[in-house]
Amino acid sequence: MKAPEHLLALVEEGVIDEVLRPLLSGKEAAVYIVRSGQELCCAKVYKDTQQRSFKHSAEYQEGRHVRNSREARALKKRSKYGREQAQMHWHQAELNALMMLQGESLCVPQALGCFDGVLLMELITDEHGDPAPRLADVTMSQSQARAAFALVIGAVQHMLQHGLVHGDLSEFNVLQGVNGPVIIDFPQVINAAANPHAERILTRDVNNMRRYFSRFAPELRATHYASELWRHYRRGTLSEAVLTGEKPTTTEELDDVLDELQAMLADDSSRPPAPPRRKRASRR
């Protein structure tokens, strides 16, 4: 096929040799199957910030690093420079997340690089060598659903160990690859420590996956992995945690309250003492 405008420069520069066909078009990008040398890859072309329909994009960007006050002002005012910077942050967030996670045996595609706003990455395939379908387009047995759900929760746990929350996890952003689920689409990934919405976003991600897999394995509706993940994250015990998905006991909930109180007391003790209040002169 004729190379789309956004991929012409990559063809001319020899980064890719041929654009084969479109794969899918989503709310923030269009994806094409391309050939680079002898390998088939995916080229993800991000949509302009004016065209993107991603809801609540501002909340995902809270806590992200900005280089200087000029950039912060531009992002807030959404000037032309600010929109360009927001677009760059969107691209870079996905590339950084994939680069951080792909060496950890996680179910994410291998990133090959970002060129002129186009992300090149591994093409995930099924057992027949065809592009892997999204979970939204497959059916599975009860046992397959339980196994796949466990793999996805394990991936969420490892991401959180790296301080990352996907932010848009659903059956539309997970592929059913030859070796199991593969999580894709990371531009809205958030920093769990810096973003004040992290716990709520993590809970939504996990509950989306629970809702999907419980179609095939109804017993998964009774699991409570989101609260368990966040509890271990706050305590710094994620790396050794063996998740059960069981509802927190009263003792665990009390421990969470005590942890919060201890954190508040530690925060108060680090503040300088308030200056003494002046005594008002009495009126006679």
Tell whether the model's pLDDT for residue 108 goes beyond 60: yes
Rounded to two decimals, the pTM is 0.79
> At a CB cut-off of 8 Å and minimum separation 6, what does 150 contact?
none
How many other CB atoms are there within 10 angstroms of residue 172's CB atom?
Answer: 18
SS (H, E, C) 9-47: HHHHCCCCCEEEEEEEECCCEEEEEEEECCEEEEEEEEC
For residue range 183-227, list pLDDT tens digits in order. 999 989 999 999 999 999 999 999 999 999 999 999 999 999 999
Measured CA to CA in angstroms, residue 40 lies from 132, 214, 255 at distances of 13, 34, 51
> At a CB cut-off of 8 Å and minimum separation 6, what does 241 contact?
157, 228, 232
| Residue 75's pLDDT band (cuts 50, 70, 90) | very low
Burial 34-53 (b: 16+ CB within 10 A, else e): bebeeebbbbbbbbebeebe
For residue range 116-168, list pLDDT tens digits in order. 889 999 999 999 999 999 999 999 999 999 999 999 999 999 999 999 999 99
How many other CB atoms are there within 10 angstroms of residue 80's CB atom?
Answer: 9
Higher pLDDT, 120 or 26: 120
Measured CA to CA in angstroms, residue 111 lies from 26, 30, 41, 215, 281 at distances of 19, 16, 10, 32, 71
If you search the block for the tokens 């040398």, which residue do you land on? 37
Tell whether the model's pLDDT for residue 34 goes beyond 70: yes
* DSSP H helices in 17-120: 57-61, 69-77, 80-101
Tell whether the model's pLDDT for residue 10 goes beyond 70: yes
